[in-house]
């Protein structure tokens, strides 16, 4: 199995379908369209989706409050869209996808501010109002911002790496397992949804990660849910066998310039292991990643996934600040 993993880790780069973080298309009619003129009545600028409410015909018999959700703060920050652009009490125009079951809720794609500035919230949307000044640049998200100077690109895996939206093998490249390896770690990681997922799905999330060199430990910092993974660089994977959280117990070693990581879960009672590799591409513009989930007690073949992150100049990992 070690030989199988090393071969996969150094050479394989798959592009498999993924399950969306939220299947919002099940709640909103993506072929529909609704536009309202209203006053901003509340703003919740938090991950995983910003939420706002708007009041139409305030103070009249026809008063109606619309709720909305939209893109993540993580993506909007990289598009140049910030909370400071919006103020409660401002009269605006809002457009988006209507809710499939409610007439007072929509997925917000566009917002027109007084003075003719349009905020484009949806990553794939074109401006709605032709004469407006667009706010919301998606070049960094889509990999159109490139460091042309090779000398300024990373020289190792230790850098900030970004998912490139829409790019094959980067965005939506890892399939979440169907439950064979699902373990409920709610007690160890706390209640609510704003907590790290199981490790095999966490590494497929479309957010930046950063690898940090701490000498005898490598820190893998994933932006989503502020996930911190310590990987101890030791010769042997001596699992202490204690009950662990959803991120498990990880050790690593170097095979040339490739970081190879082994992770075990939930103490010595679980036979499941995850093997990963992190390799800098020859052009120093990508971090190639492979992941294989192994359960020796299962009759199913190991689940193999891979993806890559791209290097985007001036990229960063920001606090997730989830609600």
Assigned CATH for 31-135: 2.40.50.140
Q: What is the mean pLDDT of the segment spanning 236-253?
A: 90
Reduced to 3 states (helix: H, G, I; strand: E, B; else coil), residue 24 is: helix
What are 93-145's pLDDT values in tens digits?
999 999 999 999 999 999 999 999 999 999 999 999 999 999 999 999 999 99
The beta-carbon contacts of 265-271 under 8 Å, at least 24 apart in sequence, are 265/183, 265/199, 266/183, 266/185, 267/239, 267/241, 267/242, 267/243, 268/239, 268/241, 270/183, 271/295, 271/296, 271/297
Where does the pLDDT of residue 304 fall: very low under 50, low under 70, confident under 90, or very high at 90 and above?
confident
User: Quick one: pLDDT at residue 91?
Assistant: 97
Residue 117: what are its φ and ψ, rounded to 5°?
A: -105, 130
Q: What is the mean pLDDT of the segment spanning 180-188?
A: 49
Each domain of the chain, given as residue ranges in start order, spans 2-20+144-310, 31-135
| Distance, CA of 116 to CA of 173 (rounded, Å) | 38
User: Quick one: pLDDT at residue 244?
Assistant: 82
Where does the pLDDT of residue 268 fall: very low under 50, low under 70, confident under 90, or very high at 90 and above?
low
* Distance between first and last Cα of the chain: 41
How many other β-carbons are positioned within 10 Å of the β-carbon of residue 143? 19
Where does the pLDDT of residue 189 fall: very low under 50, low under 70, confident under 90, or very high at 90 and above?
very low
Q: What is the mean pLDDT of the segment spanning 285-308?
A: 90
Q: What percent of the chain has pLDDT over 70?
A: 86
| Distance, CA of 141 to CA of 195 (rounded, Å) | 24
Residue 9: what are its φ and ψ, rounded to 5°?
A: -65, -35
């Amino acid at each position: 199995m070690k030989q199988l993993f090393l071969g996969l880790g150094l050479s394989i780069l798959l592009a498999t379908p993924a399950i969306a973080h939220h299947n919002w298309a099940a709640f909103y009619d993506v072929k529909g369209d609704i536009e309202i003129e209203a006053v901003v009545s509340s703003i919740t600028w938090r991950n995983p989706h910003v939420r706002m409410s708007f009041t139409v015909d305030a103070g009249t018999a026809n008063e109606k409050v619309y709720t909305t959700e939209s893109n993540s703060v993580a993506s909007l920050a990289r598009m140049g869209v910030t909370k400071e652009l919006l103020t409660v009490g401002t009269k605006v125009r809002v457009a988006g996808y209507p809710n499939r079951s409610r007439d007072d809720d929509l997925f917000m794609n566009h917002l027109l501010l007084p003075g003719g500035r349009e905020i484009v919230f949806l990553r794939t949307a074109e401006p709605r109002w032709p004469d407006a000044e667009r706010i919301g640049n998606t070049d960094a998200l889509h990999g159109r911002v490139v460091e042309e100077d090779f000398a300024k690109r990373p020289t190792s895996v230790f850098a900030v790496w970004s998912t490139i939206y829409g790019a094959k093998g980067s965005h939506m490249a890892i399939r979440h397992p169907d439950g064979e390896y699902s373990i409920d770690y709610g007690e160890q990681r706390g209640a609510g949804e704003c907590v790290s997922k199981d490790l095999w799905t966490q590494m497929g999330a479309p957010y930046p990660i950063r690898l940090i060199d701490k000498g005898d430990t490598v820190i893998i910092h994933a932006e989503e849910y502020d996930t911190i993974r310590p990987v101890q660089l030791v010769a042997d994977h001596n699992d202490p066998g204690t009950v662990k959280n959803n991120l498990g117990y990880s050790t690593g070693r170097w095979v040339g310039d490739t970081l190879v990581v082994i992770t075990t879960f939930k103490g010595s009672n679980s036979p499941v292991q995850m093997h990963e590799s992190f390799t800098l591409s020859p052009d120093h513009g990508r971090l190639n990643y492979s992941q294989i989930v192994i359960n020796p007690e299962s009759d199913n073949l190991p689940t193999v996934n891979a993806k890559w992150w791209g290097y985007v100049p001036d990229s960063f990992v920001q606090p997730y600040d989830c609600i």
